[in-house]
A = this chain, B = another copy of it.
Amino acid sequence: MRILGVDPGSRAAGWAVVEVGARATLVAAGVLRPGAGRPLHERLGLLYDGLSCVVARERPDEAVVERVFAGVNAQSLITLGEARGVLLLALARAGLPLHEVTPAEVKRTVAGNGAAEKEQVRRMVQSLLPGSGRLALDAADAAAIALCHAFAGAGRLARLAATPAGPARSPGVAGSWRRRPSG
């Protein structure tokens, strides 16, 4: 089962595809960065196209998107919602079963603490996905979102083997992608 996790954002939207079976391995991960200098509608189009391209390349079976509840101010919430809307639309148009998780669920499941810091989540993701290397924070969040959906409530995270996996595939698309540094 391949699960695509998405950490929605307007400046940076993290994504990660995790293959989950007897153990979990990272297939690919990245961050969509549409560029702050472009007009809003262009940025939304780049997020939509970027995630559509991820789905076409990595062929996940399901997608999980983090819910958002808080922002610095009303404008930042609207902007985040706009990004989240087009990301959800891209996943829906690809015909993927869609799920949502809350930030607290993700942190609790992956780091054992609903108020964990991003860096702590990244460290846990690295230990749960051997061979994944040092992911960008937004990509690590996305991997945590996928893992949370895969294992939440099943108590299965503890069973993940620590066997190193092969190197994850890079999306290999320039510009709006961030390649993972090799682990």
| Interface of A toward B, CB cutoff 8 Å | 39-42, 44-45, 48, 68-71, 74-75, 77-86, 88-89, 91-93, 98
Contact = CB atoms under 8 A, between A and B. Distances in A.
A41 B92 contact: yes
Nearest to A71: B74
Contacts of A85: 44, 81-86, 89
8 contacts: A41-B88, A41-B89, A48-B89, A69-B74, A69-B75, A77-B81, A82-B85, A86-B86
A89 B44 contact: yes
A91 B84 CA distance: 17
Most buried by B among A71, A74, A80, A91: A74
B45 A98 contact: no
Contact of A88 (B80, B82, B84, B92): B82
Given A69-B78, A78-B81, A80-B81, 16 more contacts: A40-B88, A41-B98, A45-B93, A48-B89, A71-B74, A78-B84, A79-B81, A81-B84, A81-B85, A82-B84, A82-B88, A83-B85, A84-B85, A85-B89, A86-B89, A89-B89
A178 to B, nearest CB: 22
B82 A71 contact: no
